[in-house]
Amino acid sequence: MSTFQAPKGTYDLIPPSSATYLAVREAIAAPLRNSGYGYIETPGFENVELFARGVGESTDIVTKEMYAFETKGGDKLALRPEGTASTLRAALEANLHKGGNLPVKLWYSGSYYRYERPQKGRYRHFSQVGAEAIGVEDPALDAELIILANHSYRSLGLSDFRILLNSLGDKECRPVYRAALQDFLRGLELDEETRRRIEINPLRVLDDKRESVQEQLIGAPMLRDYLCEACKTYHEQVRELLTAAGVAFEDDPKLVRGLDYYTRTTFEFVHDGLGSQSAVGGGGRYDGLSEMIGGPALPSVGWALGVDRTVLALEAEGITLDLPAATSVYAVPLGEEARRVLFGKVTELRLAGVATDFAYGGKGLKNAMKSANRSGARLALVAGERDLAEGLVQLKDLQSGEQTAVALDAVVDEVRRALA
């Protein structure tokens, strides 16, 4: 065992379980690629100010959970705690919004970092796939993203998840609600830190998970009662589009999410099999974020789905994904001449698109066949001196045990036929 271990709250993805994570990422990405979203990759760290302005200085993410540091050159940077601010920054920097084809639709996949108390389903390093549609205010875009996320989860076989939906209003109606909520909250028995939050971002108090706080929130003013006509109409259109698409959702007037940039549509995917860490993904509209980070007005909407949480959801439902074997053919040479010839055949098979591995290290037949079985291969390609002298190799079906002599120059065709 190594002297070193993965840092607290992190994990290593190793085979064979890593194949499930790759399959989950692919399942989430596939509907996006099929709907006009292009792939974007941003640095693992950004200027601290990008997140302070975009995510919100009063959020737990910025005040408690962000990994911030100063470089030797004096730059103040942070490991990215979420993907939206970075993606929007990159789109603005590349002037993608000036290409004349709005919305700019982007998807990404990567690791994110938050200094949290580690527990099952909540890590300090976690993996997400995200999608952003930048530059257009249209309820159909909000609905599209929710429908695509729903499609991703359904394609994995998940069924025990729920979609929570709310509207957070806009710059016209939210200030009125904010004032009413502040008046209500100031009359409660709250600690100093929560009182400070009332003045900076009172909506975040609604998201407080402590029972002592939640009990006092009974009777708090509801945002839905303060929405202006434009926001009501917009939200109703999102709801109608989802219903028409056959996507079930639940209205949740208390849903605010943990980031300050959300406006109007906000949503969360929750799985009841995950205990307290029930959210598997979520997102919403963020019409003012571009201006917050120094860009032009670009109304946008997006989401991020947790790969780790989705894998836990699959486990909770007892779903095992049907993953292709990493190896289809395993080559076993007996002797030096066979090593040279079979290694050439391995290369040919790989170029033909057949997943093929080789018995490295000069193993004997018994050990090499054990390795072939452990690899999950369907077929073994075995050759010794006598076989080669006759221009043959032995093709063995590792499931049935059936073995067939095959001409050397027909190996690729015979393997393809056997696998088909």
Same domain for 281 and 414, yes or no, is: no
> Mean per-residue pLDDT for 67-75?
92
Question: Residue 65 gets which letter from DSSP?
Answer: I
Same domain for 236 and 344, yes or no, is: no
Which residue is listed with tokens 């598997």?
A: 280
Per the domain annotation, does 167 fall within a domain? yes
* CA separation for the pair 342, 411 (Å, rounded): 10
Same domain for 248 and 154, yes or no, is: yes
Instruction: Give me the pLDDT at residue 190, please.
Output: 86
* CA separation for the pair 180, 218 (Å, rounded): 15
> Mean per-residue pLDDT for 144-169?
96
Which residue is listed with tokens 């095992």?
A: 320
Q: Where are the beta strands (DSSP E) in 73-151?
A: 76-79, 104-113, 125-134
Same domain for 397 and 289, yes or no, is: no
Q: Where are the beta strands (DSSP E) in 34-138?
A: 38-39, 45-47, 68-70, 76-79, 104-113, 125-134
Q: Which of 163, 165, 164, 160 is nearest to 272 (CA)?
A: 160
Query: pLDDT digits over 212-243, tens only?
Result: 888 888 888 888 889 999 999 999 999 999 99
**Number of compact structural domains in the chain:** 2
Spatial strand order in the sheet of 68-70: 45-47, 76-79, 68-70
Q: In the structure encoding, which two tokens stand for residue 293, read together?
A: 């980070």
Query: pLDDT digits over 201-212, tens only?
Result: 788 788 777 888
68 close to 113: Cβ distance less than 8 angstroms: no
**What CATH number did the domain enclosing 375 receive?**
3.40.50.800
Instruction: Give me the pLDDT at residue 192, please.
Output: 85
Per the domain annotation, does 184 fall within a domain? no
Top-confidence residue, 210 or 354: 354
Pairing mode of beta strands 161-167, 250-251 = parallel
Task: Identify the domain boundary among 316, 349, 371.
Answer: 316
387 close to 393: Cβ distance less than 8 angstroms: yes
Same domain for 293 and 380, yes or no, is: no
Same domain for 252 and 290, yes or no, is: yes
Instruction: Give me the pLDDT at residue 59, please.
Output: 63
* CA separation for the pair 63, 59 (Å, rounded): 6
Task: Identify the domain boundary among 265, 287, 316.
Answer: 316
Same domain for 308 and 362, yes or no, is: no
Q: Which of 125, 128, 143, 166 is nearest to 304 (CA)?
A: 128
Same domain for 30 and 165, yes or no, is: yes
Name the least confident of 29-43, 168-182, 246-260, 378-392.
Answer: 246-260
Please give the residue range of the domain that contains residue 89: 18-173+227-316
Residue 52 confidence (pLDDT) above 90: no
Q: Which of 44, 97, 108, 51 is nearest to 289 (CA)?
A: 51
Name the least confident of 245-259, 358-372, 399-413.
Answer: 245-259
Task: Identify the domain boundary among 316, 350, 384.
Answer: 316
